[in-house]
Chain A
Amino acid sequence: MTRRARIVLALAAAIFAVTASACKKKQPPVPPAPEINQDSLAAAERVRADSVTRADAARRDSLARAQAAASAESAARDAARLEEVRSTLTAPVYFDYDSDGLSDETRVALDAKIPVLNANPSVRLRIAGHADERGSDEHNLALGQRRAAAAKRYLSQRGIADSRIEIISFGEERPAMEGSDESAWSQNRRDEFEITAGGDRLNPPS
């Protein structure tokens, strides 16, 4: 071997050594295995979960409150509407003394029932005719019958099926108001309307 060759080898070795040494220094130290504190982790997790739960619950509560408020409002609105529909259907109509003639007022009250009946085809009605105390007890039963029949005839002439309405008379036997003056009599000369079927879920007229 030449000297030159030996120098090259020495250099190379030196470089290798330096290089090797330099490479060795660049290696990161192996980190120690972490020592995890399991208790504190669980505690933190619990805290986090609790806060999430609380937040969720708060969100749910507020949502439920809002929904409840909205639904109560709507239910009240529905109930009021239903009550209005029902009372339109069951509102009594009134008559003149010893008469089964339908006054304008009575016709208006009957007309209002027609859309309700049309919107609720399963509804059946019983019309009960009544009289004030002044006529004869017996003849007043016939008068009450005529009053109930007059209202039924009016409704059926406007398209309400006969089979949906039955009539009955109570004469003067069931006064709406006790008393022997016109204020009582005028309340007692009446037809009453009772829903006998299909009244559980009433649809408002469209």
Chain B
Amino acid sequence: MLAVAAMVSTAKCATAQDTTRKGVRIGLTYQPGTKPVVVVLPISGVAGDSIAGILSRDLDFSDRVEVVTPTSAVAFDAARGNGGRAPNYGLWKTLGGAAVVEGSVTAAGVLINVHDVGQARIAEAREFPLPSTPLSGDWRMALHGLSDEVLRWISGTRGSAQSRVAYVRDKQIHIVDSDGAEDRVVTQGSTALSPAWHPKAQYIAYSKFGERGTEIHIADLSNGSTRRLTAAGGLNITPEWSPDGQWIVYAHGAEDGTDLVMAGALDTGPVRKITVGKGTDNTSPSFSPDGRRLAFTSGRSGHPEIYVMDTDGANAELLTPFQFGETSYRSGPSWSPDGRRVAFQSRIDGRFQIVTINLRDRGMKQLTNEGSNEDPSWSPDGRHIVIASNRSGSKQLWVLDAESGRARQLTRSGGARLAAWSPIISGAR
């Protein structure tokens, strides 16, 4: 049994803080309260290796389960047991396995069986259609959807693999899949900043340097067209879509400070001013999931802090507590999808770190301490936060597990920043 355990390894990803998990301790170090172990069996057939590989990695990136992939035929046979017709439930139960994922390539896609090891039976089975071109962008996104569904079967919570991250690199807006694949640029020309996703992920709003100021533009990802939302001139930055997709809140700066305003996303109707900053800076709005409140950065107290208010500007209150004897600098709030927390960046010992604050008890939790870490944005399932960090020497996007602080590197080209995590991409494009 130890021999078998030694022949399997957990799917690992590059991580700077991953110091607690090792691949060959399955069954020996498993403790109640740690994550359930999911065994992903090899998949034969066309692109079977890729399917099993992407599925295993998505499940690992979810941080909700411990993924084990048998790496040899011996391990595979042992895992299968019973003449190869069913997983060796007894063995996996002893090793701490909670679920075994078994896939087989079909004409239309892939058939997935998820075995409940404890019950020694198939808990869920479904054939997932896949686009006909393996490893194409659409094929990958469909497979990520499969991963999210498998995770829901096992853990009860759908994952966020079927999503993308928009960010800024080389002065342009880029989009990359949640697993780091399919990186592409969606803007061109002058400096573009602060991408924000439409709630259905069809559009991205962003700010762009113009001749007379900075403008808000909207890119339609379905056809590659772009249009300008704001009039030329003045400072127009940090757009954010309302959860219903009808409105865009952004920061408008003139000669009397920068205030948040709300504009119709689809028309050129009047713009409504939300904050009354009296010459201060008010930027970086983030909607509560119910669309009723906004978190934002304001310098109204003399230095940037996080505030929350109603979407009409009423009931503004300082969210982050006063730091006695220190000039704090907190900015870039992102409201969690469950509505309970706000993540932001806070200057600590001269560098930005990612902190979350619980809206109920105002308890704060620092998630990073390595390098400088900025611009948090929550994953659609609320488990992860994408950030920009220079911990590897260059500025890259990293994905933090908001529970454990575990981090994985998302991008591989320097200068990545201002990330925004998309909603679930439903329906492959």
Contacts and interface: CB of A to CB of B under 8 A. Distances in A.
Interface stretch (A28-36, A39-47, A48-56, A135-143): A135-143
A173 B191 contact: yes
B247 interface: no
Interface string B322-336: 000000010110000
Interface string B227-239: 0000001010110
A142 B213 contact: no
B209 A173 contact: yes
A191 to B, nearest CB: 13
A86 interface: no
A145 B303 contact: no
A137 B415 CA distance: 12
Interface in B237-288: 237-238, 251, 253-258, 279, 281-284
B284 A141 contact: no
Contact of B235 (A142, A152, A153, A173): A142
A98 B304 CA distance: 9
Contact of A139 (B191, B207, B255, B281): B281
Contacts of A141: 193, 207, 214, 235, 237, 253, 283
A169 B212 contact: no
Nearest to B327: A98
B147 interface: no
B286 to A, nearest CB: 12
A137 B417 contact: yes
A136 B193 contact: no
Interface string A161-177: 00000111110010000
A195 to B, nearest CB: 16
A146 interface: yes
Main secondary structure of the interface of B (DSSP, over half): strand
A135 B303 CA distance: 11
A138 B214 contact: no
Given A142-B253, A152-B255, A136 B235 contact: no
A149 interface: yes
Interface string B302-338: 0110000000000000000000000001011000000
B256 A139 contact: no
Contacts of B191: 173
Nearest to B207: A141
B281 A143 contact: yes
A138 B331 contact: yes
A136 B331 contact: yes
A139 B253 contact: no
B235 A139 contact: no
Interface residue range, chain A: 20 to 34
Given A137-B375, A137-B418, A168-B213, A142 B255 contact: no
Interface string B413-429: 00001100000000000
A170 B281 contact: no
B251 A142 contact: yes
A169 B375 CA distance: 20
A138 B194 contact: yes
Contacts of B331: 135-136, 138-139
B237 A142 contact: yes
Interface string B189-215: 001011000000000000101001110
A142 B418 contact: no
B209 A136 contact: no
Given A139-B284, A142-B258, A146-B257, A169 B304 contact: no
A152 B304 CA distance: 23
B409 interface: no
A2 B71 CA distance: 187
Contacts of A137: 193, 374-375, 417-418
A138 B212 contact: no
B253 A136 contact: no
A146 B281 contact: yes
A169 B207 CA distance: 13
B304 A139 contact: yes
A138 B332 contact: yes
A82 to B, nearest CB: 27
B345 interface: yes
17 contacts: A135-B329, A136-B331, A136-B352, A137-B417, A137-B418, A138-B194, A139-B281, A139-B297, A142-B253, A142-B257, A142-B258, A142-B282, A145-B281, A146-B258, A146-B279, A167-B255, A169-B253
User: What are the 4 closest A-B residue pairs judged by CB atoms, nearest first?
Assistant: A142-B281, A142-B258, A136-B331, A145-B253
Interface of B: 171, 191, 193-194, 207, 209, 212-214, 233, 235, 237-238, 251, 253-258, 279, 281-284, 297, 299, 303-304, 329, 331-332, 345, 352, 374-375, 417-418
Given A138-B193, A169-B213, A173-B171, 5 more contacts: A136-B284, A136-B297, A142-B253, A145-B235, A173-B191
